[in-house]
Amino acid sequence: MGGLLALTLAGCGLFGSSKPKPTPLTPIVERVGVRQDWQTSIGKAGNFTFLPASGGPVVLAAALDGTVVRLDNGKEVWRTSAGQKLSAGTASDGRLVVVGTYKGEVLTFDFETGKPVWNTNVKGELVAPPAITEGLVIVRTSDNRVIALDAADGKQRWNYQRSNPPLAVRSVAPPLPFGPFVLVGMPGGKIYALSLQNGAPAWEGTVSVPRGATELDRVSDVVTVPAVQGPLMCAVAFQGRAACFDMQGGSQIWSKEVSSVAGITMDDRRVFIPDEQGVVHAFDRSTGASVWRQDKLKYRNVSAPVALPMGLVVGDGEGFLHVLDRDTGEFISRMNVGGGGVMSILPALGPNTVLLQTRGGSLMAVTLQ
């Protein structure tokens, strides 16, 4: 890995010898119903993080043992095996389904049939889900190279690489297509908009500036997917800050001190961030002013947040799904989904529905009502 030491962060007590105990849950008054629409078994994740893909009623997902599956309205259309262990998935454009391996293999399958289409090796560990846009399959390796492959045949179109600091957090965030660019967070508190045409950086934003006396102190990496609405883009760094930018002019609008490896999202008024301890923060999206904080999920390995019309949804590493009031941060619903803890969660299938995959191998759709 060219001298780069990657740090894999999973939960809290990130560098300590002992992990704090998860905060026990207390009873809540449920104001919103939570319904499981469907559930299926996909396979365990091991030490990797898998993210399902969704478009309309279609869901695609993958697991460590090589399983790749397509569901329509929760019913299985096809299930296939990659023939080797997987470490990254899933992406689709309605024609291809793409997954990756720890040995650098990019594997593609036909969207309709599940049959293999092409594969290629990018000579780098793949731990982040790929992305597909504008005829390109875009992957990032664990040493932070971003590579674009032709979706038709897998041939390399471009490769973006920058120097890495001695220590960096291993990112499991997929590249995010954004108009004619792809957004990628990087070590050193940076986020880049790379041209889809040639991979050249068209814009660079500083989310956080590394600081501290040791290399460990100076780790300040953007390892989650940025949140984008219109011209506004917000991102957060580990051991750093959160910042929002005007992507039309490229200027920073505000910045606040908060550290996260979970993720970030926004609605029309607020930006939501679970910090590295599991405290969920809400900031005013125009000014960055703190609106509320919810500290009753500390040390529960909180997932990326999802903002739905009926509430803010987060999962935790103990197997619970929580719904918070977006205005106050109060708990308004809770559901035990089990499955070894919520690994990934995303809005899908409906305005108040989330799709989630657990570490224990469950894939399910859950609707607020």
At 111-120, the pLDDT tens digits run 999 999 999 9
Question: How many structural domains comprise the chain?
Answer: 3
CA angle at residue 39 from 34 to 44, to 5 degrees? 120
Task: Tell me the CATH number at 190.
Answer: 2.40.10.480
Is 94 in the same domain as 158? yes
Which CATH number does the domain housing residue 369 bear? 2.40.128
pLDDT, tens digit (0-9, with 9 covering 90-100), for 196-244 = 999 999 999 999 888 777 877 777 788 899 999 999 999 999 988 999 9
Domain interval for residue 55: 50-171
Task: Answer with the one of 259, 274, 308 that is the final residue of a domain.
Answer: 259
Where are the extended beta strands (E) located within 122-211?
131-133, 136-140, 146-150, 156-160, 167-169, 176-178, 181-186, 190-195, 201-206
Q: Is the pLDDT of residue 11 over 50?
A: no
Q: What is the pTM of this model?
A: 0.93
Domain match, 114 and 193 both:
no
Residue 273 lies in a domain: no
For the chain, what's the residue count? Answer: 369
Kindly tell me if the per-residue pLDDT of 6 is higher than 70: no
pLDDT for residue 1:
33
Residue 167 confidence (pLDDT):
77
Same domain? For 57 and 154 the reply is: yes
41 neighbors 79 (Cβ within 8 angstroms): no
